[in-house]
């Protein structure tokens, strides 16, 4: 027996045990993703658990004295902040229970450890609105029950023997999950969340019994990415689209009322945390309904919403060798988003003290209505640091490569944020980040082209070469109907609007070749603006050059239709033209009535088809 296997466990030993367990979970994340069929077969349990548990590594590995009670409180808080997905929130709540039980003690005896894991199991069970047997809850309960029973029957038993027997109980409970959930039995797998908790316990027991610390896995050495379990079952497909999460902070959160109100909005509800800080996890179709409700109970933060339908579709597409993702600065038709399985990370929009997830908790039409009526001019910001990392981690666990095309780095920190997230990803797949040096329809055109390359079967190397070649060739222009929004947003000085109104000129904003947003020209007179804009665009197209055009419209579909007719009349070489609602990237500066046109040289079908060489 190892000398570490004593009669108690202090903070230092508990920290090392947890590090060992977390490393084991990270090493199994791809397997956990592959067998994830419940509650929703969106193949992200491994990713969510790895990210959730990794959030505690900073606390556990800090070079400071580790008082057990204080350590558990810090771990519980870090896990709550970093919790992702159903299983991540449940584990966070398990450790919240352990922390509340431990209080200010400096070490665990078998008795106090048994009390802590028992309360942790109760907390985890109570966090769910509809707890189910055969899930992570069953394995957590088996672990706690085994420790408690041994403590009761043999209170002086050695720590190492108790946790070794508890490990056997965990393994038995895990193997039994298919007998408790029919959806698991039909898929021929154990529950992914339950297996994740089992791996955590096994890593902890390896250290506490034998002094063995599982090292952080080298993702480059992990086995080749395998496809997820092919399984279709009504019980594992959520009727709701978005996995929605947020944090509520207040001196005294009315948790029962919050839970009851949330339960009416969707399913898979988990409410973790304490009366001062609560993490909400729920599946809904309207994420903003969750955020709006949560604001009534305290200060809101950490809003996120992942498209589970898109994730499930993407992970079961075997024909694509790489995934494509962009941020919501890109404007792309819904048809292309669905057809090409493009993933999107939302930017953030702030009207005064009210925040939104772009294109998730606020639509384009709602944005422009708010822009017109709200006294606060909105500010836009790049996606939160964890948003790209979470998506990268998920996609890189299912694809050998992920290609991200971001909003121009000259106007946003999104590109740098995506690069940083890519470097921190622990999944096996490689992540490639390309700066579009564009926005709106231009960024969207590049993203769609990349996704078409993926569907056509091109390699990631050839696709990156094509996109980088196209970046300087994409031109984007915006025709503003009302300059007051550009003035309010600081893009134009007030005197420019005054002069423009006086002499009746209409400024045109463009994205410059180096990715900046600035003045690109002007039109004289206020009449026939769409005709004049079409002539302006045509003057920037080479005679006979085959091009693709994207039109973005800010709640002015009639103007967009007229502009399309004028463009087709003046540019007969248009091969493809698509119109969609204009998002916030440029719309925040133009307001309602803004028209955007992006042009890109057309690439023939041969150029995006796998060749024989």
Instruction: Note the CATH architecture for domain 8-216.
Output: Alpha Horseshoe (1.25)
Q: Which of the 8 DSSP states describes residue 12? A: H
Q: How many CB atoms lie within 10 A of CB 224?
A: 7
Task: Tell me the DSSP string of 245-308.
Answer: EEEEE-SS--HHHHHHHHHTT-EEEEEEE-SSEEEEEEEES-HHHHHHHHHTTSEEEEEEEEEH
Contact 268, 238 (CB under 8 A): yes
pTM of this structure: 0.75
- What element of type H or E holds 123? helix 110-126
β-strand pairing of 475-479 with 595-601: antiparallel
- Kindly give the interhelix angle for 68-82 and 11-27, rounded to the nearest 10 degrees: 30
> Hey, what CATH class is 239-316 in?
alpha beta
What integer pLDDT is reported at residue 613 of this predicted model? Answer: 40
One CATH from 3.30.1180.10, 3.40.190.10, 3.90.1150.10, 3.40.50.300 for 475-608: 3.30.1180.10
The number of CA neighbours under 13 Å toward the Cβ of 180 is 19
Backbone angles phi, psi at 582, to 5 degrees: -85, 130
Determine the distance from the C-alpha atom of residue 322 to the mean position of all C-alpha atoms in its chain, rounded to a whole number. Answer: 18
- Comparing CA positions, the residue from 547, 471, 464 lying closest to residue 514 is 471
What integer pLDDT is reported at residue 599 of this predicted model? Answer: 97
Would 8-216 and 475-608 be classified into the same CATH topology?
A: no
Q: Which residues of the chain have pLDDT under 50?
A: 1-6, 221-225, 233-235, 605, 611-613
SS3 content of the chain, % helix, strand, coil (to 5): 50, 20, 30
What integer pLDDT is reported at residue 611 of this predicted model? Answer: 44
What are the domain boundaries of the chain? 8-216, 239-316, 475-608
Angle, CA of 147, 148 and 150, to the nearest 5°: 65
- Comparing CA positions, the residue from 475, 463, 485, 462 lying closest to residue 593 is 485
Residues 222 and 365: their CA atoms lie apart, in Å, by: 45
What integer pLDDT is reported at residue 234 of this predicted model? Answer: 44
pLDDT digits (tens, 9 = 90+) for 341-375: 899 999 989 898 888 889 888 888 899 999 988 88
- Kindly give the interhelix angle for 159-180 and 110-126, rounded to the nearest 10 degrees: 20
């Amino acid at each position: 027996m190892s000398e570490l296997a004593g009669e108690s466990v202090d903070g230092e030993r508990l920290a090392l045990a947890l590090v060992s367990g977390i490393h084991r979970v990270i090493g199994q994340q791809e397997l956990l993703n592959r067998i994830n069929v419940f509650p929703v077969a969106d193949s992200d349990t491994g990713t969510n658990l790895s990210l959730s548990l990794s959030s505690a590594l900073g606390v556990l590995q800090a070079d400071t004295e580790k008082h057990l009670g204080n350590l558990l409180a810090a771990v519980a808080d870090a896990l709550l902040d970093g919790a992702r997905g159903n299983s991540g929130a449940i584990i966070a709540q398990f450790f919240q229970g352990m922390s509340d039980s431990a209080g200010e003690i400096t070490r665990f005896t078998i008795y106090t450890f048994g009390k802590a894991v028992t309360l942790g199991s109760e907390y985890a069970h109570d966090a769910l609105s509809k707890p189910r047997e055969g899930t992570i809850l069953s394995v957590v309960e088996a672990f706690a029950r085994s420790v408690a029973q041994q403590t009761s029957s043999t209170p002086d038993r050695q720590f190492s023997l108790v946790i070794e027997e508890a490990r056997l109980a965990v393994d038995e409970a895990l193997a039994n999950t298919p007998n408790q959930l029919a959806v698991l039995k039909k898929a021929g797998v154990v529950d992914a969340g339950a297996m994740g908790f089992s791996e955590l316990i096994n890593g902890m027991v390896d250290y506490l019994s034998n002094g063995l610390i599982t090292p952080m896995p080298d993702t480059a050495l992990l086995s080749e990415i395998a496809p997820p379990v092919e399984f279709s079952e009504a019980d594992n497909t959520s009727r709701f689209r978005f996995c929605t999460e947020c944090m509520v902070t207040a001196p005294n959160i009315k948790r029962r009322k919050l839970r009851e109100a949330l339960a009416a909005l969707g399913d898979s509800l988990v409410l973790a945390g304490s009366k001062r800080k609560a993490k909400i996890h729920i599946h809904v179709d309207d994420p903003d309904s969750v955020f709006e409700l949560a604001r009534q109970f305290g200060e809101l933060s950490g809003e996120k919403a992942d498209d589970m339908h898109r994730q499930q579709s993407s992970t079961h597409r075997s024909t694509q060798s790489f995934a494509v993702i962009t941020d919501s600065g890109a404007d792309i038709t819904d048809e292309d988003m669905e057809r090409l399985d493009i993933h999107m990370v939302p930017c953030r929009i702030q009207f005064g003290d009210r925040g939104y997830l772009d294109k998730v908790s606020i639509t384009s039409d709602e944005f422009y209505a708010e822009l017109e009526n709200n006294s606060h001019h909105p500010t836009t910001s790049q996606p939160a640091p964890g948003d790209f990392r979470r998506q990268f981690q998920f996609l890189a666990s299912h694809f050998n490569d992920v290609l991200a095309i971001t909003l121009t780095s000259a106007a946003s920190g999104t590109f740098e944020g995506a690069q940083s997230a890519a470097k921190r990803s622990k999944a096996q797949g490689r992540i490639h980040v390309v700066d579009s040096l564009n926005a709106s329809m231009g960024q969207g055109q590049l993203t769609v082209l990349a996704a078409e390359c993926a569907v056509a079967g091109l390699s990631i190397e050839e696709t990156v070469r094509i996109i980088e070649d196209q970046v300087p060739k994409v031109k984007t222009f915006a025709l503003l109907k009302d300059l007051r929004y550009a003035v309010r947003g600081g893009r134009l000085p007030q005197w420019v609007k005054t002069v423009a109104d006086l002499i009746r000129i209409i400024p045109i904003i463009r994205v410059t070749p180096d990715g900046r947003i600035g003045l690109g020209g002007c039109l004289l007179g206020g009449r026939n603006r769409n005709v004049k804009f079409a002539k302006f665009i045509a003057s920037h197209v080479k005679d006979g050059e085959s091009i693709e055009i994207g039109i973005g419209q800010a709640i002015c579909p009639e103007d967009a239709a007229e502009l399309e007719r004028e463009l087709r009349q003046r540019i007969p070489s248009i091969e493809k033209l698509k119109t969609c609602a204009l998002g916030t990237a440029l719309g925040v500066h133009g307001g309602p009535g803004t028209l955007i046109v992006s042009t890109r040289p057309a690439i023939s079908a041969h150029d995006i088809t796998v060749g024989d060489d």
